């Protein structure tokens, strides 16, 4: 069964760069879009962006100027970088596999806190 | 892009049916059938319930069903059970090649 395992720094200072990675186990990266979604504390889900195995990306317009999503097919990993973070970027970040217009498999989530 | 609109809370007694609405626009729900629903228990990752408006992935109870009319999608939970108490989110693909989530609905089983 496909599993996503994610990791990255959980505590950042304002203006630093958030960096998270998600590894895909027991399946290939090929043929899917791979997505990042975040959830601020006590708030709803927000789609951050996606990438396919060919490196094609789509980003949330509200984050587009600060976000980069990349993929390493040889390692079966994809990554999120969000620069110039502020307290508003404090959230649980999830990676997910997208298929048929839905997010069918999710990572366990990583809490990222931005604090001076 | 604005979040899809869901009621903040819906409640029902065990065994009853409840329906959660998800209102979008002609740039998302009104255009595509890439509508999905998710259940999230506190402290957990969301669980995938519905895709393509009405389809259930294997392993999801048939007590969960989806529909759509115009710019509004709906999730119905029939035979409400205590374990259904959770937050529920809709999601839709948009004409901007992005995705948007709903505001979320807290379901309470009385």
pLDDT digits (tens, 9 = 90+) for A69-87: 999 999 999 999 999 999 9
With 90 as the cut, is the pLDDT of residue A1 above it? no
Per-residue pLDDT, A27: 86
- Tokens 């990993």 correspond to what residue? A77
Which residues from B are below 8 Å from A103, CB to CB?
36, 38, 46, 48, 91
d(CA A34, CA A29): 8
d(CA B20, CA B69): 13
Residue by residue, DSSP assigns A72-91 as ETTTTEEEEEE-S--GGG-E
Per-residue pLDDT, B1: 78
CB-based contact B101 A47, cutoff 8 Å? yes
Average pLDDT of span B32-45: 97
**B63-98 as b/e, with b when 16 or more CB fall inside 10 Å?**
ebbbebeebbbbbebeebeeebbbbbbbbbbbeeeb
Per-residue pLDDT, A26: 85
d(CA B4, CA A26): 34
- B35 to A13, A87, A90, A97, B10: CA distances (angstroms): 37, 31, 27, 16, 20
Percentage, residues of chain A above pLDDT 70: 100
CB-based contact A102 B48, cutoff 8 Å? yes
Phi, psi of A87 (to 5 degrees): -60, -30
Where does the pLDDT of residue A28 fall: very low under 50, low under 70, confident under 90, or very high at 90 and above?
A: confident
CB-based contact A100 B98, cutoff 8 Å? no
Residue of B98, B100, B106 to mutate, interface with A, max A Cβ within 10 Å: B98
What average pLDDT does the structure give for chain A? 96
Which residues from A are below 8 Å from B103, CB to CB?
44
Per-residue pLDDT, B92: 98
Segment B46-78, tens digit of pLDDT: 999 999 999 999 999 999 999 999 999 999 999
Segment A94-108, tens digit of pLDDT: 999 999 999 999 999
Segment A43-64, tens digit of pLDDT: 999 999 999 999 999 999 999 9
Q: Could you give the strand order of the β-sheet that contains B18-23, starting from the edge strand earlier in sequence?
A: B18-23, B72-77, B64-69
Q: Answer with the residue of higher pLDDT: B41 or A29.
A: B41
Q: How many C-beta atoms lie closer than 10 Å to residue A25's C-beta?
A: 10
Residues 6+ apart with CB under 8 A from B73: B21, B22, B24, B29, B35, B53, B66, B67, B90, B92
Per-residue pLDDT, B69: 96
């Amino acid at each position: 069964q496909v599993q996503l395992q994610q990791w990255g720094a959980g505590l950042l200072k304002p203006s630093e760069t958030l960096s998270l990675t998600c590894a895909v186990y027991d399946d290939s990266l090929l043929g899917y879009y791979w997505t990042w979604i975040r959830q601020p504390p006590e708030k709803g889900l927000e789609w951050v962006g996606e990438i396919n195995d060919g490196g094609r990306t789509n980003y949330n317009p509200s984050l587009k100027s600060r976000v980069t999503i990349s993929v390493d097919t040889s390692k079966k990993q994809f990554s999120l970088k969000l620069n110039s973070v502020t307290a508003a970027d404090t959230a649980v970040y999830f990676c997910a596999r997208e298929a048929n217009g839905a997010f069918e498999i999710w990572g366990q989530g990583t809490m990222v806190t931005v604090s001076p | 892009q604005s979040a899809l609109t869901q009621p903040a809370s819906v409640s029902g007694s065990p065994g009853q049916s409840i329906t959660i609405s998800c209102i979008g626009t002609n740039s998302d729900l009104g255009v595509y059938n890439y509508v999905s629903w998710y259940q999230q228990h506190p402290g957990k990752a969301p669980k995938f319930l519905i895709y393509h408006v009405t389809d259930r992935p294997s392993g999801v109870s048939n007590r969960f069903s989806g529909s759509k009319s115009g710019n509004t999608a709906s999730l119905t939970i029939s035979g409400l059970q205590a374990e259904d108490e959770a937050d529920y989110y809709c999601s839709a693909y948009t004409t901007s090649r992005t995705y948007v989530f709903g505001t979320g609905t807290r379901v309470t089983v009385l």
